[in-house]
Structure 1
């Protein structure tokens, strides 16, 4: 059964969420197998990570509508899309043109020539007349054009660019589970430009967020995929 756990750290400006997509993720793969449209393993893993990430980000913003995570590539994966709803329902798909090797990375699938992009769209459930969905777009590289090797790094960079908030994201997926852990520094209270400026001042140096993010980063892929949520949180944050 798919599950989402939200938690906070008492007395500290840090929040977290952990999602595990199980039955629903397996059903997606079963339908594709039945249609004889099975993606290569690295593409399946990417789609699972995108489903988990979209579910976390949708829940994180308390938004009544769909969050659509899209990857546009210049490699064999031309497009990959995950759409997440407030009730943990999701859809994923991809367009693959060309061969994807078993050891393919994010860069070799989507960013061969440095032109890959990631877009996040918020599509309200009850749109007002003339209202357009919000969309933010970032490249698949950092501010210094350094390559970003994981989807989690791309989305951490997106959150830093769009919200000025430090975020640690751990993602993993296999053919049984798509899972993710999100740790985020809460925004500094303030109005208008004052709050925005204070959030920028806290980037990378918040003494409450950094130790918790470092603990989260010790979570391994196998642990995220095989352990239940309570065990993961207890092992990581028992001192917090």
Structure 2
């Protein structure tokens, strides 16, 4: 693979790009994030090491969504016992991404160079696939590796899915990721060493290359001696799926007694989306209407 011109390494766009190695059963994805990552961070005030790990999570959820070809929502939820108690990122086929982090109550601020295990300690990652049609699927993997990418690779290995490896990086301004996957079809594989060779080359990638090089240039650096077929990139952007209806549905689950107590104290209910900080207000009358609607049984069909 030889690019026809040298890309501008400063011109990073928010995109994900699929590629494959001809005559092999190895495929890959490359993700580059800048504006969408910035919009996630602009809505919150996290410590620098949390910003970096959140960027890795956003890159990972974009890679996995495109890899599984899910017509629905994919989310990654990381819960830990360290100063960082929660990380969550969500993506959908429309290329919309959102993410949040939550520090444990009374947690000491992590050091500037805190890593994955220092931030999270023990815990687990929950991977949820929520298709528009069909059943929701959830998988869980322990936080027993030294990186987010290592934990996700362990998930693929333990769940007997396709062999998959990830490389993730973020620096507070840009985030990037690389995914390689070995497909099950051996009929088109004319290169039995392709998987091990492409993995070995991917292991040489540096964090600053994942965040600082344009995708085409990064592929050229890693695989200039391979025959790589690169597909058109798909744009990515920050996007929140919150709505007044979804917030109302969440409020109802708190129960009538708790909602009425809040209304009695405050005269109504005001809340906001954790992801985008959009505020939603409900008057006392609107709360009662929600409770009445939720207690009304569905019509009986005859």
Provide TM-score, normalisation by structure 1. 0.82
Residue 138, structure 1, aligned to residue 141, structure 2: yes
Aligned residue in 2 for 1:13: 25
SS of 1:93's partner is strand
Show structure 1 runs of 4+ deviating over 3 A: none
Q: Give the equivalent residue in structure 1 for 2:128.
A: 121
Partner residue, 1:169: 166
User: Which of 220, 224, 229 pairs up with 2:206?
Assistant: 220
1:142-190, Cα deviation, whole Å (9 max, x unpaired)? xxxxxx1110100111111124432221101122211100011112469
Which of residues 83, 93, 105 is equivalent to 2:100? 93
CA–CA distance in structure 2, aligned partners of residues 87 and 214 of structure 1: 32
The reply on whether 1:48 has 2:58 as its aligned counterpart is no
Q: CA deviation at 1:90?
A: 0.8
Shift of 1:7: 0.5
Q: Is the 8 A contact 2:40 2:100 kept in 1?
A: no
Q: For 1:27 and 1:164, how far apart are their aligned partners in 2?
A: 33
Structure 1: how far apart are the matches of 2:172 and 2:113?
Answer: 16
Give the deviation of 1:116 after TM superposition: 0.8
Q: CA deviation at 1:88?
A: 2.1
Q: Secondary structure in 1 aligned to 2:159?
A: helix
* Alignment match of 2:118 (pick from 102, 108, 112): 108
8 A contact 1:3–1:20 mirrored in 2: yes
CA distance in 1, matches of 2:193, 2:157: 17
Instruction: Determine which structure has more spread, i.e. the larger CA radius of gyration.
Output: 2
Q: TM-score, normalised by structure 2?
A: 0.66
Residues 11-65 of structure 1: CA deviation (Å, up to 9, x unaligned): 0110000001111111222222xxxxx1111111111100000000000011111
Deviation at 1:108, TM superposition (A): 1.4
**8 Å Cα contact 1:77/1:96 also seen in 2:** yes
Unaligned residue ranges in structure 1 (runs of 5+):
33-37, 142-147, 191-205
Contact 2:25–2:186 (8 Å) recurs in 1 = no
Contact 2:166 2:178 in 1 (8 A): yes
CA–CA distance in 2 between the matches of 1:170 and 1:73?
21
Deviations 1:79-122 (A, max 9, x none): 110101112211111110212111212111112xxx41011000
- Structure 1 residues 208 and 189: alpha-carbon distance in aligned structure 2, compared to 1, 3 A threshold: closer
How do 1:143-158 and structure 2 match up within 5 A?
Answer: 148-158=145-155
What secondary structure, in the 3-state scheme, does the structure 2 residue paired with 1:67 have?
strand
